[in-house]
Structure 1
């Protein structure tokens, strides 16, 4: 509803003013992330505004006693907002916290491995997104963004995917997008990646994408933003679908 959207935007604006971040603070926080240079002019201003509104709605909490700084919060928020720049902050509704560890972390919960054995604690992770819960990140992994990798975009892609029947590689599509085309294209590329992996040929994205459809979507989303030329060269049909979904990076 328009009145609710307006109320939330006014509330965000009040919170942003109280935080007191300047444009210079934001620029300094993201200066060492190469992807940010792609956004200039009005898009850059929109990205900064959205990033500050993200911090007005989400808290960034310390994991394991890690000393989280304002600059870290600004960088994580900006990376998180790149996928939703043309979608809107409402796509991240329903959860409220980012937990930031200094390095990799081990979830304190039971974990079942492929052989069916249940272990008392989970595997070592650099990022994790919980359904209707927090996003957990390793700051070391955040700082390694580049190439075709970005742990923040990866986990935020899971959050978008979870808006429709869980993280299964099938996020809610926009009107006019064809669900069958999405399924067929992603399945075809997934199967091609598996063949490349088995035959040890060049793989367009990291082999971690073969973990399952949800991870395939998240890894491809990383590549879409961090290495768009390579993804377009190898899988143009999949690239175009991601461009439609994220409403960015359209190509002929």
Structure 2
């Protein structure tokens, strides 16, 4: 008789909670018992219980809202980054549920920002912190860094889509001529995880974008962060074709 190995405690707990979510015993938007209550119920330490919750967060089944607790999450819609700062979401999502919150602060070019924007250290910059939401759930995070003289004067604090953010930035600078993007996967910082309500163990899609305007000046640099459980990147290459001369 072959016996199956017992899964480690965090995965066993995650299996039980997952089954309760899938079968409807735990409903969408329902708050889970507190971590202390769950740890006592499963007779494990709090760190072990948190490891189990991290598994479910990584699967997109629950989300932790700071100061409120862990909640069963609604079905996650896929976010597709198509390049050039443009993002698309599943077609069945009502446009009315999508919005972008913008926070604007003044900062200085330090470290990597100085290199990205090709400006001297401590040059004045404007940072636009933009968080995209589907309903009340965050799905994407972008930090735009713009030379202060190219920054929009009075952008709105909440916009309907990323296109509105791009249009607002375009009003204050010359047209863009070139954009370079670097894509990599990594773990989120604690700040990024808290903003996107994801586990620090969930990989993210991180994109660094640098845009140059028609005068040759770097007009903006952006850091994009997309949760790995519901995002992908799509890049399309258009190739020029020439007709071969007809053979005689």
Of the two, which has the highest radius of gyration?
A: 2
Shorter-chain TM-score: what band?
A: under 0.3
Higher RCO (CA 8 Å, separation ≥ 6 residues) = 2
Structure with greater strand share of residues: 2
Query: TM-score, normalised on structure 1?
Result: 0.26
Query: TM-score, normalised on structure 2?
Result: 0.27
